[in-house]
Amino acid sequence: MKKYLYIIAVLFILTSCGIYSFSGTSIQPDVTSITVYNIENRAMRVNPALSNALTEELKEKYRRFTKLRLENDRGDLQVEGQITSYETVSIAVTAQEVAAQNRLTVTVKVTFTNVKYPKENFEKNFAAFEDYPSTSSLDAVEARLVESIVKKLVEEIFNATVANW
């Protein structure tokens, strides 16, 4: 019985201090809001849906996995970004020197500002990719690839900003 009370006490202390949560975030207790600005598309090749998809997925991730209040402007945490690259390259060549695999890569430059704790501020590039067979055109697989790439980017950005991983 003492063992269970000890475990419950430890869990209570960990969750009540506000610095650690079981969702994996480490947000100071006095940080209560976040602003996710529209991720601008500055890549040479533009996917018209990418900017909005990335911005909205980021907002949803913070909404679902933190207690932060989403603000339109001047949040305690601020996430800004630009899509700097959207490109496809051949990655595997057959013996006949024909591309067998292609890779779609998206790179996003993110500026993170923590108004209350400026030491946590950073500017960093995040990149994610998906491979697809050269027998498929990019137009045929692009929506599926972008959906997967957006999920990867959102996870990386989220972890870098509030999970400190």
The CA distance from 111 to 146, in Å, is 22
The CA distance from 89 to 60, in Å, is 31
Q: Percentage of residues in the chain with pLDDT exceeding 90? A: 75
Could you write out the three-class secondary structure of the chain? CHHHHHHHHHHHHHHHCCCCCCCCCCCCCCCCEEEECCCEECCCCCCCCHHHHHHHHHHHHHHHHCCCEECCCCCCEEEEEEEEEEEEEEEEECCCCCEEEEEEEEEEEEEEEECCCHHHCEEEEEEEEEEEECCCCHHHHHHHHHHHHHHHHHHHHHHHHHHCC
Per DSSP bridges, beta strands 77-93 and 40-41 are: parallel
Asked whether the whole model's pTM tops 0.85, one would answer no
pLDDT digits (tens, 9 = 90+) for 48-65: 999 999 999 999 999 999
Whole-Å CA distances, 67 to 25, 64, 111: 10, 8, 21
The contacts of residue 67 (CB under 8 Å, 6+ apart) are: 27, 32
Cβ distance 62 to 70 under 8 Å? Answer: yes
pLDDT digits (tens, 9 = 90+) for 99-140: 789 999 999 999 999 999 999 999 999 999 999 998 899 999
The domains found in the chain, sorted by start residue, are 31-163 (3.30.160.150)
* Main-chain phi, psi angles of 8, to 5 degrees: -65, -40
| Banded model confidence at residue 20, pLDDT cuts 50, 70, 90 | very low
More confident residue, 160 or 10: 160
